Structure 1
Amino acid sequence: MLSTSNMLKMLERYENCTYGSMEIDRSTTNAEQNSYKEYVKLKAKYESLQQYQRQIFGEDLGPLSLNELEQLERQLDCTLNRIQLIRTQSMLSQLSELQVKEKMWIEANKDMQDKLEKVNQAGPSWTGGENGCSYEQQNQHPQSQGFFQPLDCNPNLQIGYNTLGTSGQLTSSTNGQNLNGIIPGWML
C-alpha cells in the first residue's frame, strides 16, 4: 500500500505538472503579446520611414506644415553638402593617385631616354645608305666590339624594295606567277 509520504510526493508532482503547464501557457501568451506589440511598433516605424522617404523625393508634401517643409529643406541641403564633400574628397584622392602615377611614368620615361642615349653613344647606329642598309660604328668601347658586328647587306634581298633597273623584270615575271597562284609578287 501507499504510504503517506509516497502519497504526498505523488500529489506534489501532480500539482507541479498541472500548475507548471499553466505558467508555461501564461509565459507563452505574454511572449506572443510582446511580439505582437513589437510588430505593431515596427510596422508603424516602417510606415513612418516610407512616408519620410516619399517626402524626401518630393511626394506627399501637402500635409506638411511650413516649419516641417523648412526642416525637410535644411535636411536635404545638409545631405547635399555631405554628398558634395564626399564626391570632392573622392575626386581629390583619385587626382593625387593619378599624379603619383604620372610622376612614376615621367621617371620611367626619363630612365628609358637615358638608357637609349647611353646605347646610342656607346653602340653602333644603323642608317639607310644607297643600298638601304649600312653600318656605322660610333665610339665603341673595347668590350662591345665583339658583340656588335657589321652585317653584309644585299640590296636585292630587301622585301618591297625595287631598284630602277630590276623593277620591270620583277613585275613582268611576278604577274604571271600571281595568276598561277604559286608565289605572290612581293615575295620575290
Structure 2
Amino acid sequence: MGRGKIVIRRIDNSTSRQVTFSKRRSGLMKKAKELSILCDAQVGLLVFSSTGRLYEFSSSSLKDIIDRYQKTKEGRDRDLPAPEILEAISLRQQAEKIKETLKQLAGEDLSELSINELQALENRLENSLVRVRKKKEEILLDEIKELNQKRNHLHEENIELRNKVFAMKQSNGELLNTAVAVGLDTFRLREEQHMSLQLQLNGIQQHAREGNTDLRLLLR
C-alpha cells in the first residue's frame, strides 16, 4: 500500500521543522550533485535556513554560475513579450483560477484537496450562504416595504375618491333640489299668468255681455 499524500504546508513544531529541513536539505544537495554529474549541467544551489544560516552547492565556481545567470536573465528580460501580451496571459491565468474555484464551490474536482483545504472550502461556502440569505432577506424586506407603501397610497386614493363621490352626490342633491324649486316657481308663475289671462278673458267676456245688453236696450 502506497504512502498517503503529504500536505505541503509550514510545520508548526519547531523541532519537527528543523529535522525536516536537515533531511530535505541533504537530499536536495545530493540531487543537485547527481544532476550536475549525470547530465553535465552547471548547478548552483543556495539555501538559507530560518535562522539565517547559508548552505550552498555548485558544480563549478558559484560566482561564474551567478554571472551566467545574470546575463541570461537580462537577455531573457529583453525578449519578454509586450505588456499587453503579459496582461492577457495574466487574465487567462486568473480566469483559469476562477474556473477551478467555481468547480470546487460546485462540489467538483475535490479529489486533490486536503482535509484542511476542504474545511476551508466548507467554511467559505457557509459564509457565502449566510451572505446570500442576508441579501435575500434585505430584498424581501424592501419588497414588503414597497408593497405596504403602495397599499397605503391606494388606501389614501380610495378615501379621496370616496370623499369626491360623496361631495358630488351632495352637489347633485342640491342641484336637484334647486331644479325642483325652480320648476315649482315656474309652475306657479305660469299658473298665475294663466289665472290672470283667464280673469282678463272673463272680464272681456263680461264687458261684452254687458255691451250686448246695453245695445239691446237701446234698440228697444
User: Per the shorter chain, which TM-score range?
Assistant: 0.3 to 0.5
Q: Which has the higher helix share?
A: 2
TM-score norm. by structure 2 comes to 0.40
Task: Give the structure with higher Rg (CA).
Answer: 2
TM-score norm. by structure 1 comes to 0.46
